[in-house]
Amino acid sequence: DAGVTQSPTHLIKTRGQQVTLRCSPKSGHDTVSWYQQALGQGPQFIFQYYEEEERQRGNFPDRFSGHQFPNYSSELNVNALLLGDSALYLCASSRLEDEQFFGPGTRLTVL
């Protein structure tokens, strides 16, 4: 049984560009949460998707948006990239309020 998978592993973009990150949840999980982890910091909650809708949102601007598909996989989109968006983006899946399992993350570098 595969755990949470994320793609791509690494990504380099320039300021102003847009990026899409992908997450496949662990089998049997229906909820996906996204976190941003800056170097040397703990993960910060971006938003959570359940039943294809955004259920909760952290303190992130509208440039950060997401989507959940009928198969529970999810995408994180970031528009108008800033240098400060460089971070490790983590996806976590769960059965709604149960324990969250994290993927390995996507390392985004904005130049």
Partner 1 sequence: GESVGLHLPTLSVQEGDNSIINCAYSNSASDYFIWYKQESGKGPQFIIDIRSNMDKRQGQRVTVLLNKTVKHLSLQIAATQPGDSAVYFCAEGLSGYSTLTFGKGTMLLVSP
Which positions from 16 through 55 interact with partner 1, judged by CB under 8 A? 31, 33, 35, 37, 39-45, 48, 55
Task: Report which DSSP code applies to 95.
Answer: S
How many positions of this chain bind partner 1 (CB under 8 A)? Answer: 30
Task: Give Cα 23 to chain centroid, integer Å.
Answer: 7
Report the relative pairing of strands 44-50 and 101-102 from DSSP bridges: unpaired
Of residues 24 and 48, the one with the C-beta less far from partner 1: 48
Of residues 40 and 84, the one with the C-beta less far from partner 1: 40
Contact 76, 37 (CB under 8 A): no
How far is the C-alpha of 106 from the C-alpha of 80, rounded, in Å? Answer: 18
Name the site residues for partner 1 (rule: CB under 8 A): 4, 31, 33, 35, 37, 39-45, 48, 55-56, 58, 88, 90, 92, 94, 96-97, 99-105, 107
